[in-house]
Chains A and B, each alone.
Chain A
Amino acid sequence: MGGFAWAMMGLAIWHFAIFIPDRFWGGIVGAFVGAVIGAFVAGALINGFTIPGESDTHLATALEAIPGAIIGIALMYAEGVRRGNEPLHL
């Protein structure tokens, strides 16, 4: 259940990446991958590489995914800039 909450939070955070000019490595889909993987990795890191079960999942479990999702998006953006992606404003 913890993994479910992380993935959901990662997806939620990714939706707000649309406000950033698209210079992500892999475009908006790259940002999506970064957010979801980042959320999952951060969640797992904070929980000592275990995924909290149904009874161990709390409100904080979902919040733990936020920094990971943001870092994931930022990494994809930085990689996009490094690769010379032009900003895309829609």
Chain B
Amino acid sequence: MTDRRRNFFILVLVGVLLAGSIGVVATKKTRQGLDLKGGVELVYQAKPTKFSQVTGDAIQRTLDIMRDRVDQLGVAEPELQRSGSDQIVVQLPDVKNQARAIAQVGTTAQMFFYDWEPNVLGEGCKPNPTDPATTGGASAGNAGSATLSYYAAVTRAAKCPAKPHQQTSQDAPVYYLVDDKAQRVLRGPEATEADLFSESATKSPAKGQAVRVVQPGVVVVEAEYDKNKPKDLNTAQFYVLNDNFALRGTDITDPQQNFDNGTGGSGNPIVQFNFTDKGRKTWQDVTRKIVQRGQSQQLPGQDPRSAFQHFAVVLDNALISVPYIDFQQNPDGIDGRNGSQIEGGFTITSAQNLANLLKSGALPIKLELISASQVSATLGQEALHQGLKAGIVGFAVVCLFLLFFYRVLGLIAVGALLVYGIYFFALIKLIPITLTLPGIAGLILTIGVAADANIVIFERVKEEIRAGRSVSAGIAQGYKKGIAAIIDANVVTFMTAFILFILATAGVKGFAFTLGIGTLASLFTAVLATQAVLGTMGRSRMISHPTALGAGEKKRSWTFDFMGSSRWFFSLSGLILLVGALAIGGKGLNFGIDFKSGTRVRVALTKPADEAGIRGVMSAGGHADAKIQRINNDKSLGANAFQISTPTLKPDQVSKITQALTSRYGLARPPDTTSIGPTFGNTVAKSAVLAIIASLLVISAYIALRFEWKYAVPVLIALMHDILITAGVYSLTGREVTTSTVAALLTILGYSLYDTIIVFDRVRENVPRMPRAAFTQIVNRSMSEVLTRSIATSFCTLLPVAALLVFGGETLRDFAFALLIGVLSGAYSSIFIASPVLTHWKEREHVFMVRRRRIAEQSNGVVPAYATAAGGAATEVTPKQARRAARRITEPELPGQQVSASEFQELVRDLHGDAPVAVADPEDSARDLTPDEVVMADDRPKRQKSKRPRNKRHGRSR
């Protein structure tokens, strides 16, 4: 296919895709993340139960049940997904009542029915069915003289022997951590002793604490409580039961909320249900047994109600209801064919919730809430507005830069950027990608990445034109030579994004996904599309003159001795790192709650308030250790905005705080709350470390494959340098390290390589071109050639990053700050760290040591910064390339293969014999390599051409 036809096809493809993209953008809705439209996000960790282990299948069944429950909440567009091997993320847009969502979605809902009196354990773990002081008598199940504190109940249960040979709800021991001095239960029940300490720094009980083990066959259940009041386990009352259940939740069907409107009914909300066939029979048998026991205990002349016996309904180790059975009305037990009902002081909502829980069924595994956050819709929309503003400003400044620097080429690049923007937006809607704030940051960053690809090629085109090629030949050659560096750099960025997507937490996944998709899309628009446009315009008057492309006379030529001065740059880096190390030691890093766990509430108050006033409210609620900060830099929150940080609180505790603040100061808008448990914090930290290590390994492997392994080590050192400098700056400034910071750090890993690859690519290209030069001279030459390009790409990336920093909201600022430091450090380390390290290392290779020695001998013991021949001319040759044999002597030059002015001058020098001649013994291993030896020789055996003349008649002769 000819170039002209190829360009035509690409332009048609671009046009068709553009039209399709515009259609998608106009018709499809953008799916916004919770941080943009507001709602609740819950993260659960799965734990095994007696009936199921945490397997992929169990998690899938759990997700299905949770979806049913979410549907019953009436939430539009909920997202439930598995995260890692044992976590579930639930996103509920527009939900304002976090506590209800938690109660409804993540409750395990393991329900059991017990015959009450024979199973309540008293002193010495002995049941005493006739003793009201043990069973509670007429007020069975309620708090009273028969109940125990949580601590006392656990202590009593721990003394009971195991009774595994019965129908138990647990078949393994459960563990509690108690404080004997304060007589409080600190943690439990947990499946293992280690789980008790999963949220603490120590792995064993502290002084005064002890571990209590409750054996299978015994269970501690909470007494009935007022469901309209918040639950506090250490003030609640408990019973110890012999764990020998009669029925399970799976034995009932069709649960629904109703009202007790029957004869003599109270009219209160109740939950009605039917039984399965097996359940019906068991129900009849159990109630008959209960009735018979009641009848046997009735004394003549005594009120029969005092002999009524009970059964208990236990949901997730809490008594829901302990009704009695009237043996006068049901002398043969209760017939299960008509179903049954639970009365338990329900409100309509709590009865509906229980019915819904029973309807969707118990979760096969236990879920522990490890993170809960709530974003108000107003704040989300403001964050979206800020993100879009930052994106538009970033796009505009990049366009201005391209136009100013590259003129007509810049115009084409701006067109490509616009097309890229439309493609990308269409992809976001089409896939669809849930657009989050970090995703917007990724989008804005890819604007810089897309522009960088153009800069790399345009600089190369300018270089070729300045070297004496025609405009069309310069364009062809520029694309041909620039593409390898761009692909290398983009592959590395894409790989980093991929690793981030696989390993990072949900919030950062959006960033990684948009960065990855954007990188791929930008390759198409920035390379293929612009090449097709320029190829089509190649001979037009618009770009016929080099100045139209910004490739007029070169105003500045870098002649700086980069390698000679590298020790001073090393010293500068060393000093920065030294200060950073001292800061890390002295101040440490300010890890956010993402890593350290805790609760953060951000409130915008209507009445003026100060820190002392807020502290007073917090202290009254029992949170005197809360950290209170005024938020000054967020206009969207107003003048009376505060951030309150505490150790991890439960959702109802957070509700209490917001209620107290509302009554004292009034809330201008619903608060933003985030609660992160230590388990989630550990997961985040582990995944961050894993992602960094995986990125470094993959990047090293790629560089080693594409270049050589000696190029990979300086890259790693430079990356380490960038990460540590960024960490040092974070420590010095005291900025909070969040998951966004880690995502930005990983992006830096990918992006920092962009510059390094550009420099190394040129070094790789110049090594065979300069077969007699020292490695320092090759690197100096390479640096002088690509420095402008490196500065331009870094500057171009910094423009949208700066826009994020200035116009983005708080989350985007987090990204932008880390990116700003990283991009600056990355550009610096590529030139002044990675290249000198490579130079030092390569100069120790035998061939370069010999060259160096020889050059020093010829130049009075000094190796010049730049390679010169005896006459002062540049010592470079054109590497041998496989060229297509010309079919005729007068054939026109192929685009990209014409001889440039500098190459022509070189040929002239060669003909005049001015070039230095090196005569070396071919057997001497220390001799210089010849140009033919340093390029990949085409050793393939040449195909023997047929000696028979071609038959011009194109037919079989007879």
Interface residue ranges, A against B (CB under 8 Å): 1-2, 4-5, 7-9, 11-16, 18-19, 22, 27-29, 32, 53-54, 57-63, 65, 85-86, 88, 90
- Rounded to whole angstroms, the CA-CA distance of A8 and B584 in the bound complex is 9
B580 at the interface (CB under 8 A from A): yes
Question: B844 — which chain A residues lie within 8 A by C-beta?
Answer: 22, 27, 85, 88
Q: In whole angstroms, how far apart are the Cα atoms of A13 and B585 in the complex?
A: 15
Which residues of A lie under 8 Å from residue B717 when comparing CB positions?
29, 32
Q: A15-B573, A18-B566 are in contact. Are A28 and B841 (CB under 8 A)?
A: yes
Whether the Cβ atoms of B577 and A5 lie closer than 8 Å is no
Q: Is the CB of B581 within 8 A of A8?
A: yes
* Chain A: minimal CB distance from B849 (Å): 7
Q: B480-494 interface mask toward A, CB cutoff 8 Å, 1 = contact, 0 = none?
A: 000000000000000
Most buried by A among B582, B713, B717, B727: B582
Determine if A1 and B571 form an interchain contact, defined as CB atoms under 8 angstroms apart.
no
Question: What is the CA–CA distance of A9 and B724 in the complex, to the nearest angstrom?
Answer: 10
Chain B: which residue is nearest A39 at the CB level?
B581
B843 to A5, Cβ gap below 8 A? Answer: no
Q: How far is the CA of A83 from the CA of B211 in the complex (A)?
A: 60
**Is A5 within 8 A of B584, CB to CB?**
yes
**B247 at interface by CB-CB < 8 Å:** no
Bound state CA distance, A28 and B843, in angstroms? 10
Give the docked Cα–Cα distance between A16 and B573 (Å): 9
Please state if A8 and B588 are interface contacts (CB–CB under 8 Å): no
Contact (Cβ within 8 A) B586 A59: yes
Given contacts A4-B584, A11-B724, contact A90 B577 (CB under 8 A): no
**Cα separation A11 to B578 with both chains bound (whole Å):** 8
Q: Known contacts being A8-B727, A27-B840, is A54 close to B588, with CB within 8 Å?
A: yes
Q: Which of B570, B584, B585, B586 contacts A15 (CB 8 A)?
A: B570
The answer to whether B837 and A8 have CB atoms under 8 Å apart is no
A28 & B837 in contact (Cβ 8 Å cutoff): yes
What would be 15 A-B contacts, judged by CB atoms less than 8 Å apart? A1-B588, A8-B581, A15-B574, A16-B574, A22-B840, A29-B714, A32-B837, A54-B588, A57-B584, A62-B581, A85-B844, A90-B563, A90-B564, A90-B776, A90-B840
In the complex, residue of chain A having the shortest beta-carbon distance to the beta carbon of B564: A90
Out of A16, A28, A61, which one reaches B585, CB within 8 Å? A61
> Looking across the interface, which residue of chain A has its beta carbon closest to that of B596?
A54
A65 to B588, CA, bound (A): 16
Considering only CB atoms, which chain A residue lies closest to B591 in the complex?
A54
Question: What residue in chain B is nearest A28 (Cβ atoms)?
Answer: B840
Q: Which of A1, A8, A12, A62 has most chain B Cβ within 10 Å?
A: A8
Contact B577 A11 (CB under 8 A): yes
Which B residues lie within 8 Å of A4 (CB)?
584, 727
B573 and chain A: residue at smallest CB distance: A15
**Is there an interface contact between B582 and A62, defined as CB atoms closer than 8 Å?**
yes
B470 at the interface (CB under 8 A from A): no
Asked if residues A11 and B720 are in contact (CB atoms below 8 Å), the reply is yes
Return the chain A residue nearest B775 by Cβ. Answer: A90
- Number of chain B residues close to chain A: CB under 8 A: 38
CA distance A54 to B201 in the complex (A): 11
- Inter-chain CA distance A7–B573, complex, in Å, is 15
- Are B585 and A59 neighbours in the complex by a CB distance under 8 Å? yes
Alpha-carbon distance between A13 and B573 when the two chains are bound, in angstroms = 10
Interface assignment of B839: CB less than 8 Å from any CB of chain A? yes
- Inter-chain contacts of B841 with A (CB < 8 A): 27-29
CA gap between A48 and B368 in the complex, in Å: 37
A12 to B583, CA, bound (A): 13
Does B721 belong to the interface (CB within 8 Å)?
A: yes
Q: A8-B728, A28-B840, A90-B840 are in contact. Are A1 and B581 (CB under 8 A)?
A: no
Among A5, A12, A29, chain B packs the most CB atoms within 10 A around the CB of A12
Question: Which B residues touch A65, using CB under 8 A?
Answer: 581
- The chain A residue sitting closest to B843, CB to CB, is A88
CB A19 to nearest CB in B, in angstroms, measures 6
Q: CB < 8 Å: which of A9, A22, A58 contacts B581?
A: A9
**B770 on the interface (CB 8 Å rule)?**
no
Q: Which residue of A lies closest to B853 (CB)?
A: A86
Q: Which residues of B contact A54 (CB under 8 A)?
A: 588-589, 591
| Neighbouring B residues of A11 by C-beta, 8 Å | 577, 720-721, 724
Given A9-B578, A16-B574, answer yes or no on A29-B586 (Cβ-Cβ < 8 Å): no
In the complex, the answer to whether B581 meets A90 with C-beta atoms within 8 Å is no
Interface presence of B567 (CB below 8 A): yes
A66 to chain B, nearest CB (A): 9
Q: Which of B574, B585, B720, B776 contacts A62 (CB 8 A)?
A: B585
Q: Which residues of A contact B720 (CB under 8 A)?
A: 11
Q: Which chain B residues numbered 555 to 570 have a C-beta less than 8 Å away from chain A?
A: 563-564, 566-567, 570
CB of B586 within 8 A of CB of A58, answer yes
Instruction: Give bound CA distance, A57 to B714, whole Å.
Output: 29
CB contact between B589 and one of A1, A2, A13, A28 (< 8 Å): that residue: A1
Q: Are B566 and A90 interface neighbours, CB within 8 A?
A: yes
Contacting residues, chain B, for A63 (C-beta < 8 A): 582, 585
Residue of A nearest to B580 (CB): A8
Contact assessment for B571 and A15 in the assembled complex, using a CB-CB cutoff below 8 Å: yes
Name which residue of chain A comes closest to B582, CB basis. A62
CB distance from A62 to the nearest CB of B (A): 3
B904 → A minimal CB distance (Å): 34
Take A57-B588, A90-B839 as given contacts and tell me if A13 and B728 are in contact as well, using a CB distance cutoff of 8 Å: no
Inter-chain CA distance A27–B848, complex, in Å, is: 14
Q: Chain B residues with Cβ under 8 A from A60's Cβ?
A: 585
The answer to whether A16 touches B571, judged by C-beta atoms less than 8 angstroms apart, is: yes
**Given A62-B584, A86-B849, A90-B843: A12 touches B566 (CB 8 Å cut-off):** no
Q: A5 to chain B: closest CB distance in Å?
A: 4
Cα separation A19 to B570 with both chains bound (whole Å): 9
Q: Is the CB of B724 within 8 A of A1?
A: no
Cα–Cα, bound, A18→B841 (Å): 12
* Contact between chains at B567 and A19 (CB < 8 Å): yes
Counting from the closest, the 6 A-B pairs by CB-CB distance are A15-B574, A62-B585, A12-B577, A8-B581, A28-B840, A59-B586
CA distance A88 to B721 in the complex (A): 24
Query: Other than the known A4-B727, A9-B578, what 9 A-B pairs have Cβ atoms closer than 8 Å?
Result: A8-B581, A16-B574, A18-B567, A18-B836, A28-B841, A65-B581, A88-B840, A90-B839, A90-B840
Q: Closest approach, in angstroms, between the C-beta of B710 and any C-beta of chain A?
A: 9
Residue picked from A4, A11, A59, most chain B C-beta under 10 Å: A11
CB pair B582–A59 under 8 Å, yes or no, is yes
Which residues does chain A contribute within 8 Å of B573, judged by CB atoms?
A: 15
In the bound complex, what is the Cα–Cα distance between A86 and B840 (angstroms)? 13
How far, in angstroms, from A60 to B849 measured CA to CA in the complex?
A: 42
Residues B728 and A29 in contact, CB atoms below 8 Å apart:
no
Q: How far is the CA of A7 from the CA of B840 in the complex (A)?
A: 22
Chain B residues, CB < 8 A from A15 = 570-571, 573-574, 577
Chain A positions within 8 Å of B564 at CB level: 90
**For residues 571 through 612 of chain B, which have their beta carbon under 8 Å from a beta carbon of chain A?**
571, 573-575, 577-578, 580-582, 584-586, 588-589, 591
Convert B706-733 into 0s and 1s, putting 1 for each residue whose CB lies closer than 8 angstroms to a CB of A: 0000000110010011001001100000
**CB proximity of A3 to chain B, nearest CB, Å:** 10
- Bound CA–CA A9/B576 (angstroms): 10
Min distance, Cβ B569 to any Cβ of chain A, angstroms? 9
Q: Which of A18, A29, A62 contacts B713 (CB 8 A)?
A: A29
In angstroms, Cα B685 to Cα A53, docked, is 14
B714 to chain A, nearest CB (A): 8
Q: Considering only CB atoms, which chain A residue lies closest to B728 in the complex?
A: A8
In the complex, what distance in Å separates the CA atom of A27 from the CA atom of B843?
Answer: 9
A88 to B584, CA, bound (A): 34
B567 touches A8 (CB 8 A): no
Which residue, of A1, A18, A90, has the highest number of chain B Cβ atoms within 10 A?
A: A90
B728 surroundings in chain A (CB, below 8 A): 8
Using Cβ atoms and an 8 Å threshold, which residues of chain A touch B589? Answer: 1, 54
Q: List B contacts of A22 (CB < 8 A).
A: 840, 844
B730 to chain A, nearest CB (A): 12
B residues 670-717 with Cβ under 8 Å of A? Answer: 713-714, 717
0/1 string, B657-678, CB within 8 A of A gives 1: 0000000000000000000000
Residues of A within 8 A of B563 (CB): 90
